[in-house]
Amino acid sequence: MILIYHDNKKVVKIISENNEIIPFNNKASIAFVLMELAKKYSQCKIVWCHQKYSEALNLDKIDTVFYHDKMMLSYNPDAVNFLGNRIGYVEESPFIKINKKVRYPTWQMSSSVGIIHSDVLMAIDNQIKQQANFDYYLNSIAKISMPLGLLCYSEPELLKNHSFLSERKPSDYTLFKFVKQHYKTRWVFLLFLNLMIYELKFPLLALVYSLFFKKRNDYLIKLDKIEVNVSSADDLNSEKIDVIIPTIGRKQYLYDVLKDLAQQTHLPHKVIIVEQNPLEESISELDYLTTESWPFVIKHIFTHQAGACNARNRALAEVESEWVFLADDDIRFSSFCIEEAFDLILKYRNKVVSLNCVRTNQKMINNRVIQWNAFGSGCSIVKSNVIKNIQFDKRYEFGFGEDSDFGMQIRNTGNDILYFPNPQILHLKAPMGGFRTKTDLIWNQDKIKPKPSPTVMLYQLLHHTKEQQKGYKTTLFIKYYSAQSIKNPLIYFFNFKKEWKQSIYWANYLMSKP
């Protein structure tokens, strides 16, 4: 391990793990020195730290929090990150609103303190410019490399003590340049539009300035050869797993899922089925649960109360094993599915994973293990203690967003959600069961229909920054125009405002519910 101390403009000291002074070019940029060290010291962890945090640097925690080479960690004790909150105008992902109290997935890196492996730096050598602004360089590495499999986190344990120290005001020029180099070009114009609409600002020079920069590409960056060698996996040493499946009116499809589970090389301990039939006087149709023999315990719950959130919560309350597989009632998978998933879980030492769930003939989204911006409630394996104190929020029942909300609850416990391209799960997207009835939501009777759905707005209000909410409003306004019947732009504008206001009203109503 090598430690670089800097003052944000240049390196002031480099020392080895044994406290030996390492010579360096004191006229070079911090990024250049970082890369030179990576070339000289292969297979090495490189830590950077602003000199004002030298006493707070928590070296004892490095091996604990940086447990494999394909990672990048940093921590910014300031209230405002390098690019500021306005980056939310162009990105809706969960990686923008960082929970600084816990380990949190994000590409927003900081020069204050951080760590990266020399192999990662060597993989990006000559592909990302070693510019003078160290924060910009770090954010660029993470933003480009995160979709390539580099796991990036805000890690508070890098400092022994930290507080929000200052309110840094990011530069318009830096923000526009970053957006131009790391997003599609249209986003610099949308950023400008959002700043005009919501902040009454007209950073025209910053916009024009950004157009002189080319988009940074990842074509030649290869991170796949960097091995993930976890130093320890003691906290993941048990692989006993329960499966939960909510179902309604899909008798044959559920039977096929149970048959797939029965053929697993890594058998589940218990399968918890919550069967819903809202018809009064109805009884279970799942006769095969008792007429056939199964190589696992089956806990069958029958209820007249419909709703996936309620069903999953009832099933989660019955989980006994250290792990839980959240499954759908219309999926198919190979006999090696759970075994292969555990091999990767132990390799990455991660407690929450969503498996690649595709429809017939659908192309794979990504063939790498990456930090996912979503969560699949029908294709995920989770350590039970992670979700011990969280539930599917029933305010989303019969709407949209419960999966995403559950994923955000997980991230805010300090746990990341990884996407595994393999093993694959086939999602049949079976037709609705015969017992389903169309739910008459309270806002369906409104003369002015809420747009977006109040449950989507609820998610926005709970988990996105103000800038993300406003950016979403702008893009929805543009996208929705071609999908609705009003073609007069002025009438559409005023109608959209009313629909948005109605959505906020009902979202606030949902927020007021326990």
pLDDT tens digits, one per residue of 160-199: 987 656 666 789 999 999 999 999 999 999 999 999 999 9
Across the chain, mean pLDDT equals 93
Q: Is the pLDDT of residue 295 over 80?
A: yes
Domains in the chain: ranges and CATH: 2-161 (3.90.550), 234-427 (3.90.550.10), 442-512 (no CATH)
pLDDT at 501 over 90: yes
Could you give the CA distance from residue 384 to residue 18 in angstroms, rounded to a whole number?
40
- The band of 70, judged by pLDDT with boundaries at 50, 70 and 90, is very high
Please give the pLDDT value at position 17: 85
Q: What are phi and psi of 188, to 5 degrees?
A: -70, -35
As beta bridge partners, residue 5 has 13, 49
Return the axis-axis angle of helices 466-481 and 489-512, rounded to nearest 10°.
140
Which comes out higher in pLDDT, residue 255 or 433? 255
User: Do the Cβ atoms of 308 and 394 come closer than 8 Å?
Assistant: no
β-bridge partners, 73? 115, 153
Percent of the chain at pLDDT > 90 equals 82
**What pLDDT, on a 0 to 100 scale, did the predictor assign at position 281?**
85
pLDDT of residue 300: 98
d(CA 196, CA 185): 18
Predicted pLDDT of residue 162 = 73
Gap between the Cα atoms of 262 and 231, Å rounded: 34
Residue 154 β-bridge partners: 74, 104
The 3 state secondary structure assigned to 181-241 is HHCCCHHHHHHHHHHHHHHCCCCHHHHHHHCCCCCCCCCCCCCCCCCCCCCCCHHHCCCCE
Per-residue confidence (pLDDT) for residue 235, from 0 to 100:
56
